[in-house]
Amino acid sequence: MWDKLRAHHAKVAERRFDSMLDTARAADFMAQTSDMRFDYAKTNIDETGRKLLIELLDVTGVAAKRDAMFSGAAINETEGRAVLHTALRNLDGDPVIVDGQDVMPEVLETLARMEGFANDVRSGAYQGQGGKITDVINIGIGGSDLGPAMAALALAPYHDGPRCHFVSNVDPADIAQVLRACDPTTTLVIVASKTFTTIETMTNARTAQAWMGEAVKDTGAQFAALSTAEDKTAAFGIDPSRVFGFADWVGGRYSMWGPIGLSLMMAVGPEAFRAFLRGGQAMDRHFQAADWQDNMPVMLALVGIWHNQIRGYATRAVLPYDNNLSRLPAYLQQLEMESNGKGVSMDGTTLPHESGPVVWGEPGTNGQHAFYQLIHQGTRVVPCEFLVAARGHEDDLHHQHQLLVANCLAQSEALMRGRDLDEARAKIADKCTGAELERQARHRVFTGNRPSTTLAYPKLTPEVLGQIIALYEHRVFVEGVVLGINSYDQWGVELGKELATALQPVVEGQEAPDGKDGSTAALVQFLQSHGVS
C-alpha cells in the first residue's frame, strides 16, 4: 500500500493543486462535526490519493485497534497497559472493563471528589491559614503541566476562581517568580505528578513546602496531590482527603481530563470543566462512529501522513489564530512528538519509514511578523495547520476579530496561490525597469502551491476546547497505528534523566568528571570556574 501511495505521489508531486480547487472540491475535501469544520482542500491530496490513504487504515487495522483502545485492552504493549484517557470523559458512565473490572465507578467518584474540593476552595469553605484561597500553584512537568496550563490560558474568559499559576521548570527562576507573587497563607499548592518521583517536580514541591513553612503552621493542610502513587503522596505529608488518584492506564500527556485537570477546574469551575469533558466525549463518539472519509481525526491523521511520510515534509506548523491557544503548539509538541517520535515499530524492528514530524508553531498574527517569511519563500515546505474561531469573547472588539480571521484566511490563500514573476514585475513596474526590474521582481516571487489545513469553529468555549484536544489525541492514535508505532510509551526520555542524576554530584563538585567525554568535562570545568559548584 505504501508503494502504491508513493507511486501515485510520484505522478502528482509537481502538480499545482490550486488548479483543482473549485467549490465541489471544497465541499468534498473537508470533514465536519456539529461544531467544527476541518478543511484540507488546500493540499495536493486528490480522490485517488485519499482512497489509497484510507486503504492504509484497513491494512493496518485502525478500526480494530480503536475499538480495542476504547474497550480497555492493553494496547500499550511495551508497558503492558490499557490506554483509557477516554474513560475520564465518559460522563454517562457506560462500563469500561479493565482486567475484569468496571473502572467507571472509581472514575466518576474521583471526579465528584475533585468537584467537591474545587467548590470548597472556590466558595471559601476550605481555607488557608490566612483565609479564602486566592492563588493555586500547580507544580508538575510534561503532561502534568502542559495540558492544564494550555487549557487554563485557553479558557481565560471563563475564569471566576482563584488565580492559577503553573511551575514546571527545575530552573529556580520559574518557582521563585511565582512564589514572589503569592501569599503563602492564602495559597494552595497542588503537586501534580503521575509517578511522584519526577525530580523537577519533587524539587519544586520541596521548595514550595519550605516557602510555606515559614508562614504557615500546618503546611500539609495547604497541599494537595494528583498522582497514581498514593504511598508516595502520604510520605510527602499530604492528607489522603486531598489526594486525587488515577490509574496507570492514563498516560501523562493524556491526563488533563482527570485529576491532573484540578487546577483548571479550580479556575473555571466544575461546570465548565464538565463542558470540556463533554466536548472530548463528543469527539470520541464521532471518532468511533463516522465513516473514514467523514471522520475528522482520521482525515487529520491521513493528511499528516501524506505530508510527512509521503511528501517528505519534516515539520508541521500549528498556527492558532486564537491568542488564547498560545500554548497549544507547546502542548501538541509533547502530545505528538512524545507519542510518535519513535524509531522502532511495536514489534521492535526498525521503523520502515519516518516517525512523526517535528511540530512547532505560534499564534497568528504574531508568527506572520516572525517566521512566516520562511514559510512563504524558504526552500523547505512547511505544511501549516491553521485554527480559527468565528467569534472571540470580546464582543465590543469584534472588528479586531474580523481582522484576525481575514489574516488567517489570507495566509492559507497566499500559501496556495503564490505570486508568479509576471505578477511580481507588474507590482513594481512603476518603480524600476530593465535588469533592475528583473532582479527586484525575483525577490517578490512566491512559489505558492504550499499546503495548509484549517480547523474552523464557532468560539473557543470549554466544549469546543474539549473537542479540539480530543481531535488531536485521536489524530496521534491513528498516525501511530498506521506507522506501526506504540504511541503510549516514552522510553526516549529516560537516558537523559539517568545521565542528569549521575552528573549532579559532578556539577556540585563532589565527584570528579572521570570517564566523562572531553566536551562535557570541559563544560563542567568552565561552569565550575564561574561558580556552579
Active-site positions read: 338, 369, 497
Q: Residue 66: name the closest of 497, 367, 480 by CA.
A: 480
Task: Please select the residue that binds ligand F6P; options are 85, 253, 274, 327, rule is CB under 6 A.
Answer: 253
What are the two backbone dihedrals, phi and then psi, of residue 141, each rounded to the nearest 5 degrees?
-140, 160
Q: Which stretch binds ligand F6P (CB under 6 A): 111-119, 180-188, 190-198, 394-402?
A: 190-198
Task: Tell me how far, at minimum, the Cβ of 245 lies from ligand F6P, in Å.
Answer: 13
Task: Tell me how far, at minimum, the Cβ of 197 lies from ligand F6P, in Å.
Answer: 7
Query: DSSP character for 186?
Result: G
Site string for ligand F6P, 318-357 (x = CB under 6 A): --------------------x-------------------
Q: Say whether residue 490 binds ligand F6P (CB under 6 A).
A: yes
**319/39 Cα distance (integer angstroms):** 14
Q: Say whether residue 493 binds ligand F6P (CB under 6 A).
A: yes
Task: Tell me how far, at minimum, the Cβ of 385 lies from ligand F6P, in Å.
Answer: 23
Query: Which residues are CB-neighbours of 26 under 8 A, at least 6 positions away?
Result: 39, 41
Q: Say whether residue 195 binds ligand F6P (CB under 6 A).
A: yes
289 close to 275: Cβ distance less than 8 angstroms: no
# chain residues binding ligand F6P, by CB under 6 A = 14
Cell numbers standing for residue 190: 497542588
40 close to 49: Cβ distance less than 8 angstroms: no
> Binding to ligand F6P (CB under 6 A): which residues in 135-174?
141-144
Which CB, 143 or 466, lies closer to ligand F6P? 143
Task: Please select the residue that binds ligand F6P; options are 81, 122, 194, 474, rule is CB under 6 A.
Answer: 194
502 close to 496: Cβ distance less than 8 angstroms: no
Q: How far is CA 233 from CA 117, 252, 264, in A?
A: 17, 17, 21
Task: Tell me how far, at minimum, the Cβ of 300 lies from ligand F6P, in Å.
Answer: 23
Task: Tell me how far, at minimum, the Cβ of 152 lies from ligand F6P, in Å.
Answer: 17
Which CB, 251 or 364, lies closer to ligand F6P? 251
**514/505 Cα distance (integer angstroms):** 12
**388/408 Cα distance (integer angstroms):** 7
Which CB, 201 or 411, lies closer to ligand F6P? 201
Q: Say whether residue 232 binds ligand F6P (CB under 6 A).
A: no
**501/498 Cα distance (integer angstroms):** 5
Q: Say whether residue 252 binds ligand F6P (CB under 6 A).
A: yes
Task: Tell me how far, at minimum, the Cβ of 68 lies from ligand F6P, in Å.
Answer: 22
Which CB, 418 or 480, lies closer to ligand F6P? 480
Cell numbers standing for residue 387: 485554527
For 363-422, give the DSSP string: -TTGGGGTTHHHHHHSSS---EEEEEES--S-GGGHHHHHHHHHHHHHHHHHHHH-B-HH
Which CB, 334 or 453, lies closer to ligand F6P? 334
Binding site for ligand F6P (CB under 6 A): 141-144, 193-195, 198, 201, 252-253, 338, 490, 493
